[in-house]
Amino acid sequence: MKFFRRFTFGRLESEVVELFEEHMNTVRLSTEVFLMALETDDKGLLNQVCELEKKGDKIRREIALKLYSGAFLPAMRGTLYKLAEVIDEVLDMLEDTAVDYLRLNLHLDEEIRGMCVKVAKINVKMSKDLIDAFKNLKMGKSLERATVKIRAREREIDVLRNRIYETLMGKDVKNYWEGKVLSDFIDSLVSVSDLIEDAADLIQILNVSLR
């Protein structure tokens, strides 16, 4: 792999790279399942999001174990572990969003649901962009296209967030707690993109450190 050509690349390093790829694919799958659940209002699908979070946590621990067993140069391990933590935070945030929607029996009217579906679709795209960024890092290719896409999509979600809250201001809610649950759900949903952008920034840091 071009990414590691200047370093000693052994079994542990290969395993860490494979684990990162699996970790990011777990995020992609989780965003896709969440989108499907939101589009169809099939709350049963949200249990899969929770299971994928457990899988991601296991992958993060395996990455940490291999890093602290000697994979990669010491100067790189901290950034690589931070990347694994942020990827895991994406899965945690998706689980929190799913739990709000599932356990609290949250109902969305069609207008709000439509905008939330748009956010969820962008989250799916961003998860794929993150995979592309890591793949380009691994192969020694430019990250610019993937990272520019991620930042553009994150700004798009910022616009949608404002539109959702402007719309919510005109909606009637039964009580304070219903409004709070709805607000927490929206905050969690739009925060997924922020975390994916943070992960992309760490991939960029790794890229710069290897020049």
| pLDDT averages per 10-residue partition of the chain, 211 residues | 52 90 98 96 91 97 92 87 98 94 79 95 98 93 93 96 91 77 91 98 89 65
Angle (CA) 156 160 162, round 5°: 120
**Side chain identity, residue 71:** A
Burial class (CB within 10 angstroms; exposed 0-12, middle 13-18, buried 19+) of 147 = buried
Look at residue 54 and tell me if it is in a domain.
yes
What residue numbers bound the domain in which 139 lies?
A: 8-209
Cα separation of 124 and 209, whole Å?
28
Q: Is residue 103 part of a domain?
A: yes
pLDDT tens-digit profile of 138-193? 888 899 999 999 999 999 999 999 999 999 888 777 777 777 888 899 999 999 99
Return the half-sphere exposure (C-beta side, CA atoms, 13 A cut-off) of residue 17: 17
Tracing tokens 């610019």 back to the chain, one arrives at: 144
* Domain-embedded: residue 14: yes
Give the CATH number, domain containing residue 144. 1.20.58.220
As given in the structure block, the two tokens for residue 83 are: 């990347």
- Tell me how far apart the alpha carbons of residues 211 and 200 are, in angstroms, rounded to a whole number: 17
- pLDDT over 70, % of the chain: 94
Q: Domain tally for the chain?
A: 1
Is residue 3 assigned to a domain? Answer: no
Q: Does residue 1 lie within any of the structural domains?
A: no
**Residues 6 or more apart from 55 whose CB is under 8 A from it?**
26
